[in-house]
Amino acid sequence: MSLGLDFDVTSNGQDAEGPATTPEPLPPELRIFVTTSNMGNAMPKRPGLPKNGEVNEILNSILYGMPKSHEGPRESDYGGRFDLLVIGTQEAIVQEGGMDLLTKDIITVAGSVDHTNRKLRSSLREGGGLKQLDEQAEKILGTDKYETPVYFQRGQMRLIVKIRKEIAHHFSNVETYAENTGLGGVGANKGGIVTTLTVGERTRLTFLSAHLEAHEGKEHFHNRCKNLVEIFGGAKQSGALDASITSHHMWVMGDLNFRVVLPVPEGQDKWDNEEHRSKVRALVEEEDWETLNAADELHRALEEKLCLAGFKTLPCHFHPTFKVERRDGFHYQEKRTPSYCDRILWKSAHGLENAVRPILYEPNPAASHSDHKPMRAMFSLSMDINERKGSKPIKCIPLNSNNRPSGLHLFISDMKCTDMYKAFSWKVHYIMFLTDPKELIRYDRSSKHKILDNLGLGVLLRKNRSKFSSAYHQMRDGWPCTSSCTLNPTDINPEWGDEEVQLTINEENAIDLKGNMLYLKVYDQVGSKRKFDDKLIGTVALNLEVLGKQKQGANMLQEPSSRRSSFASSRRSSFAASRRSSVSSLRNSFQRGTSRRNSVQFLSQSDVSRFDTVNIDQPILKNGKEHGRLNCSITAWWLASPEEAYGKRRSRHGKSKSKKG
């Protein structure tokens, strides 16, 4: 059960408050404060928010510091106010004198309420402590310091995003969705809220606040992993990819409820519950964070890729946040196992992994309102990598008379899947290629074409094949695809052999590729024809700007892994030799002339050698879970026209149009 709402930061209906602010340019680094708190249905006491949003309020009160593997705050991190404040809460319905069970149950199964519009918020019935929470937050953060583009409630969960007013005009396209996972998938006592904002022109930031299934035990552990898959799959627009794939940067926070489970001692079948609790409490008293982290269920889930594939989190070098008595400090309840239930994670898209720098990650022991201690974190997000620098493509051959390439051509080959998930019923697979924005390679079809596509007859669309792709005649829904790979009964890993797909992005769109993504969607074909109801196995997301700027020896998108296919490795040397020969042939095939087609400028041999093939070995992801891996080789050339690019690429493999006939 999900609901989506779309708002714009500049038109969220809030009343203008305080003095007018002077708009500022986008800073080189965004400083982001993220906090999550299970409020225990009580008003927060010392919630740990920075007064007036001041960064020094947080950095000057650090309790635990960063793990040795990560640097602490830099001098440039101090001073000023946070650019973004993100607050996720669970069990956030509060009522003076406590809440009767009937009222709590009614609120728990309630749907979404959006409080972003201040006028709308003031007209709603004042219940659940909303007014008190508003007043407390404004008293701490100030009433005139931040815009609030997101103030979203789903049942007992809330997600609030505040942006420093001076830079709020750089944010737009706010979308919020929610998904319930409690009480048969209907109740909102458990689930998640997902909101996405665009900063600058194209950089998408996403924040997910979740409350997962509680209790100890293997079944509950696996249900928590399933909860996250359900949230990613449901909290989005129908038919869209999940936010973990489409976002450039994403944060997950909340009461994830993962527990500390120590390995069973040798010679025993299982732990005695009391013995296990005593052992964990002893490790906490000894501050043996390393052993506790090794026994953390979330650590296991990430290692085994059961959920949140590709996400990172810092080690918990501090006291567990659950289950504590409602007073200052860490005083654990005797009948419960101390655990790291409250967490914050993040993930960045390919080519942007170094843009996020964690600065702080720790609990707030002074909070005394709940049986959970709130977690807080600070991040620096480099906008130099995302928005501030122009995306100027590398020089290429040939160049047109305007000294600019007319198009980017991607040649994708050596496609092969490994470690595929075994649960798919059909043995016919194919890859569909999509881009964001979609106009980069998608064919604008007529109604007749759409009907043919839905019937699995896209093969009839053969004319103008070179307009976008060599796979143009194997389209679905206007997107190019590979051929269908039929597997043997005993095989689960499709391989496309010598097949090669060429994708072309015209000059107008290719000059500036910042924020643009290429999606390789692997499908399980249902039936004899590929159609819209084929089952999506998963997606690989690649950064088009990185592919368009690749240099010799810089395999920017290659993930170091022992799983890299021997198939791709064995072909690398011969493939590189063929590429060098092809580039040389390409240079010699064009002569200087007066016509626009032949009016080209050749580069030196050193510039030509910068072209290289990157070998991709990336996970195939769906709803935060890995379903296999995709290996392929991608070569990016900037050429004068699709016809020239396609023709020269064919000659590289010793194929000519005359031989084809």
Give residue-wise pLDDT tens across range 303-332.
999 999 999 999 999 999 999 999 999 999
DSSP 233: H
Question: What residues does 81 pair with on adjacent strands?
Answer: 54
| The pLDDT of residue 104 | 54
- Decide which of 387, 422, 456 is a domain's last residue: 387
Q: Indicate whether 238 belongs to any domain.
A: yes
Question: What secondary structure, in 3-state letters, does 444-489 show?
Answer: CCCHHHHHHHHCCCHHHCCCCHHHCECCCCCEECCEEECCCEECCC
pLDDT of residue 392: 39
* Residue 385, pLDDT score: 59
Report how many domains make up the chain. 2
Tally Cβ neighbours within 10 Å of residue 208: 28
Residues 208 and 233 sit within 8 Å (Cβ to Cβ): no
Residue 113 lies in a domain: yes
Structural domain ending residue among the three candidates 347, 365, 387: 387
Please indicate, yes or no, if residue 94 is contained in any of the structural domains. Answer: yes
Compute φ and ψ for 610, nearest 5 degrees: -75, -15
Q: Is 583 helix (H, G, I), strand (E, B) or coil?
A: helix
Residue that the structure tokens 């035990």 belong to: 217
The predicted pLDDT at position 487 comes to 86
With beta carbons less than 8 A apart as the criterion, state whether 136 and 43 touch: yes
158, 61: one domain: yes
User: For residue 21, is it within any domain?
Assistant: no
Are residues 44 and 134 both part of a single domain?
Answer: yes
Pair (329, 425) in one structural domain: no
User: Which pLDDT score is estimated for 137?
Assistant: 85
Residue 603 and residue 571 share a domain: yes
Does 250 lie in the same domain as 394? no
Angle, helix 566-589 to helix 642-652, in steps of 10 degrees: 120
**Are residues 76 and 135 both part of a single domain?**
yes
pTM summary value: 0.84
Backbone φ, ψ for residue 285 (5° rounding): -65, -35
Q: Residue 4: what residue type?
A: G
| CATH code of 497's domain | 2.60.40.150
Same domain, 428 and 497: yes
Q: What SS3 state is found at 616? A: strand
Residue 19 forms part of a structural domain: no
Clarify whether residues 169 and 68 are in a common domain.
yes
**pLDDT score, position 116:** 67
**What CA–CA distance (Å, rounded) separates 344 from 321?**
12
For 241-288, the pLDDT digits (tens) are: 999 999 999 999 999 999 999 999 988 889 999 999 999 999 999 999
Within this chain, do residues 262 and 375 fall inside the same structural domain, yes or no?
yes
Could you tell me if residue 327 is inside a domain? Answer: yes
How many whole angstroms separate alpha carbon 71 and alpha carbon 654?
A: 53
C-alpha of 41 from chain center: 31
Instruction: Take residue 165 and report the two structure tokens written for it.
Output: 């007013």
Do 612 and 628 fall into the same domain?
yes
Pair 382, 249 in one domain: yes
Q: Name the token pair of 42.
A: 């009580």
Q: Residue 661 domain-assigned?
A: no
642 to each of 219, 330, 401, 468, 517, how far by Cα in Å? 55, 66, 17, 8, 21
Domain-located, residue 22: no
Residue 390 pLDDT = 39
**pLDDT score, position 580:** 41
Q: Render the burial of 414-450: b for 16+ CB within 10 Å, e for the rest.
A: bbbbbebbeebeeebbbbbbbbbeeebbbbebeeebe
- Of 372, 387, 402, the one marking the end of a domain is 387
Name the stretches of the chain with pLDDT < 50. Answer: 1-5, 7, 11-16, 101-102, 120, 123-125, 388-405, 459, 461-473, 551-610, 642, 645-646, 648-649, 652-661
Residue 196 and residue 21 in contact, taking contact as beta carbons nearer than 8 Å = no
3-state secondary structure 164-186: EHHHHHHEEEEEEEEEEEEHHHH
Q: Which two tokens stand for residue 435?
A: 């881009």
Burial class (CB in 10 A: 0-12, 13-18, 19+), 284: middle
Q: Which domain holds residue 636?
A: 390-653
H or E stretch including 118?
A: helix 118-123
CATH number (domain holding residue 188): 3.60.10.10
Do 221 and 287 share a domain, yes or no?
A: yes
